[in-house]
A and B are shown apart, each in its own frame.
Chain A
Amino acid sequence: MELFWYIVLMTMLAIYVILDGYDFGAGIIHLFFAKTEKDKKAITNAIGPFWDANEVWLIAAGGVLFFAFPTLYASSFSGFYLPLIMILWLLIFRAIGLELRGQVHNRMWEAIWDKAFGISSLLLALFFGVALGNVVRGVNLGNVVNGVSTHEAHFFFLPLWNPTFSPHAEELGIIDWFTLLLGIIGVVSLAIHGANWIIFKTNSDLNEKLKKVVFSLNIVLLILVIVSISIWHIIDPNPFHNFMVHPWLWIFPSITIVGLFGLFKVKSFKKHGIGFLFSSLFLFGGLTTTVASIFPKVLPSTNSINPDLTLYNVAAHEYGLSIGIYWFVIAVILVAVYMFIQYKVFSGKMDDVGYGEH
C-alpha cells in the first residue's frame, strides 16, 4: 500500500516537473533570448492558458504527500522551511509578472514584470534542482549535535548555507557545491525544455534561433551530467547498488540517455513536438533515476544515530491509505478527461490566443 502511494506521488511529481518545468523554462528563455515584443508575446501565449493548471499538480502532489506520508511532509516542510517559503514567494512573483505585464502599456511597467517573471522562473528552476540535491545528500535528522539528538528523530532544520559550502560539513546547509550543481542542471535542463515547448506551440521567428540554443545548452547539460555522475560517489558511496540488485531499474537511466542524446538532433526534427518529447524524457528519466538510486529511502540521515526516513516509516495508517485508493482512482479518471478536453481545445499553435491582452 505504501509502495502504491509512493509510485503515485513520484508520478505526480514527475508530471509536475514536466508541465510546470516548461513554464519555468519558457521564463528563462524569455529572460535571456526574447528581444522583441513579438518574441515575448509568443512566449507568454505559449504558456498563458496552461500555467495555473500546471501549478495545480504541485498542490495536488503536496496534498497526496500530506495525506499518504504525513511524517515526511511534516519533517521535510519544517526542515526546509526557508527555501520552501522562498519558493512560495517566487511562485507569487512569477505569477504576477506573467499576469500583470499586459495590463498597462508602459515600457517601464513591462520591463519590471518581464524581469520579475524571468528571474523568478530562473530561481525556481535552481531551487528545485537544489531541493533534489538535498534529498539525495540527506539531512541531519534529529539535529544531532555532538552525538546527541536535540529533536525527535525525524525532525531537523537546515539553514540556507554554511560558510564552507561543503556537503560533508558538520553543520549542513541547503546550498552547498553539490546541491548547487544539481540546481544548475535544473536551470539548464528546464531552459532546454522551455525552448522546446515554445518551438512546439508557436510559429515564432524565435524558433530557429531556439533550436540552436537547445543544441548548445544540450552540450552544457551533457558535460554537467557527466561531472555530476563522476562525483556522485562523494555523497553516496554506492549509488548503483539498487540498479545492480534490480536490473530492470536501468530503464530509468536509459530513458534519461535517450532524452539527452535525442536532443542533439533538434535541428532536423520534422514535427515540432519531438524536441519537447525528448526533453520530457530527460526530465522524467533524471528524476526517476535519482529517486530510484536511494529507494526505499525518501530522506537519508547523515548521522549514524537516527535512521533514514523510508517510505515505510513515514506513511499514514493502513485504513486511510486503502480507502484513499477509491476516490483517487475516480479523481484520476476525471483529471485525464479534463486534460484531454483542455489540450484538445487548445491543440496546435497558440500564436493567436491573445494572452494577457485586456
Chain B
Amino acid sequence: MEDMLFYDRMQFAFTITFHYLFPQLTMGLSLLVVYFKGRYLYSNLEKYNDAAKFWMKIFALNFAMGVVTGIPMEFQFGTNWAKFSELTGGIIGQTLAMEGMFSFFLESSFLGLFIFGEKLLGHKLHFVTGFLVFLGSWASGYLIIATHSWMQYPVGYEVLENGKFVLNNFGALFSNPWLLPSYLHNQLASIITASFVVAGIGAFYILNNKHSEFGKLFLKTGVVFGLVSSILVAFPTGDLVAKNVVKHQPVTFAAMEGIFETEDGGSEIVLIGQPNMLEQKLDNKIAVPNILSFLTYQDWNAEIKGLNEFDKSTHPTNVPGLYYAYHIMVGLGTIFIGLMLLAAVQLYRKKLYKTKWILWSLLFMIPFPYIANTTGWYTAELGRQPWLVYNLLRTTEGASPTVSAGNTLFTLLGFIGLYLLLGLLFLMLAGKIINKGPQQLNTH
C-alpha cells in the first residue's frame, strides 16, 4: 500500500514536472510572438516579422512536446488516481473537459494556420491566428488553475452519503478567491521564463557575434518584458497568493516559512537554514526579526502560528521539501528582479550590448526560471499535502485500488526512459533552430 502510493505520486510528480517545462514557455512566448507580429504590422519592418516567425518555430517545437506529454496527464487521473477521479470527477472533470473543448481545439487549429498559412492568409489574418493561439494557451492555463484552486480551496460543492463530491454552484468554480491571484502569478511566471529565454538567446547571438541585429532586438524585448514580469510576479501577485495560504492553509504557511514554533512578538523571516525534523528546528539559520509578520499582516508584532499549534495529522507530509521549494522559488525570484533591473539600467544607458558580464549572466540564467516555476508548483502541491482536496480528501484515499505497485513502477520506469529520450531530442532540435538563427528561415 505504502509503495503503491509512493510510485503513484512519483509518476505523477515526474510526468507533470517534465510536462510543465513546455507550457510554461509556450504561454509566455505566445505573448511575445503576438508582440513581434504586432510590431511588424505597425512598423512594416521585416525584422519583426522574422522575429515572430523564428519564435513561432521554437513555440511549435515546445507545443508539440507539451501535447505529447500532456495527454498522459489527463489519462493519469483515471489510471493512477481512480478513486479520486470517481469521487471528484463531477467537479474537476467539468473544468478539465472545458479545457479540452475551449482551449485545445483553439490552439491546435490556429497553430497549424499560423505556421503554414502566412502566404495564404496575409499578414493581418496571420496576426489574428497568432493571437488566437495565445488566447487558447492562456485559456488552458486558466482552466487548469481553476481545477487546481478547487483542490486547494474547495467551493460550490456538496458531499453525498457515498462520499462523492457533487457540484452545486458552477459559478463558484470561477469566482473562487484562490483562482485569480494564482492564475496571474502563474502567467507572470510563464512570461518570466519566456523573457529569460528570449533575452538569453539574444545575449548568445551578441556574444557569439552571429545574427547580432536579432540579438539586440531579442535582448531588448526580453529585458523589458522580464523586468516587468519579475516585479509583478512578486508583488502584488505572489503576495496575494501567500496571503491566501496564510488565511486558508496556515499549517502550510508555517511549513513553507520554516516556523516550527510560534514566536511571541512577531516572526522572523528565514533567509537560510535547513529544517531539522528530528529536533523540530532550523539548523544554522540566518533570519531577520519581525519581517515576516510585517509582510504578512503589515504589523511588526503580529503572531504567526508555528507547526506546533497544529495537529500532526494535518502537517504537510514533506516539510523540508516544501520549505526548500518555497525558498528556492523566492530566492530565484529576487535574483531575477536584480539581474533584470541591472540589465534595464544598462539598456537605458545604451550600454547593455557591450556589458559582457550581464550578457553572460543572462545566457546562463536561462534554466533558472524553469527551476523557479517548478519549485513554485512544488510549493503549491507539497503544501496541499496530506490532502488531495484540502481538508476533505486525503491523498492516501485517492489512488487506484486495483493497480499494484509493481505495475506503476514498471510504467514509471518507462516514462523516465521515454522522457529522457524526448528531452535529448528536444534539446538537439531547439539547438538546431537557435544555431540556424532567424534570418536563414526566409532564404529556405
Contacts and interface: CB of A to CB of B under 8 A. Distances in A.
Interface string A39-59: 000000000011011011011
Taking residues whose C-beta sits less than 8 angstroms from the other chain, chain B's interface range is: 35 or more
> Which of B64, B99, B444 has the largest number of chain A CB atoms within 10 A?
B64
A69 to B, nearest CB: 8
Given A63-B101, A67-B96, A342 B85 contact: no
A66 B105 contact: no
Interface stretch (A89-97, A127-135, A165-173, A253-261): A89-97
A173 to B, nearest CB: 14
Given A64-B97, A81-B403, A74 B109 contact: no
B102 interface: yes
A245 B151 CA distance: 46
Nearest to B69: A92
Interface stretch (B35-43, B45-53, B111-119): B111-119
B90 interface: yes
Given A100-B429, A338-B106, A358-B433, A95 B93 contact: no
A227 B411 CA distance: 36
> Which of B106, B113, B167 has the largest number of chain A CB atoms within 10 A?
B167
Nearest to B171: A323
Contacts of A100: 425, 429
Contacts of A55: 67, 71
B93 A70 contact: yes
B410 to A, nearest CB: 8
A64 B101 CA distance: 9
B274 interface: no
A319 interface: yes
B14 interface: no
B11 to A, nearest CB: 9
A249 B420 CA distance: 49
Contact of A89 (B89, B414, B425): B414
24 contacts: A53-B105, A58-B71, A60-B97, A60-B105, A62-B74, A62-B100, A66-B89, A70-B85, A70-B88, A73-B78, A78-B79, A78-B82, A84-B79, A85-B75, A85-B411, A96-B425, A155-B400, A316-B90, A320-B90, A345-B117, A345-B120, A345-B121, A346-B112, A353-B116
Interface of B: 57, 64, 67-72, 74-75, 77-80, 82-83, 85-94, 96-102, 104-106, 108-113, 116-117, 120-121, 160, 164, 166-168, 170, 400-404, 407, 411, 414, 418, 422, 425, 429, 432-433, 444
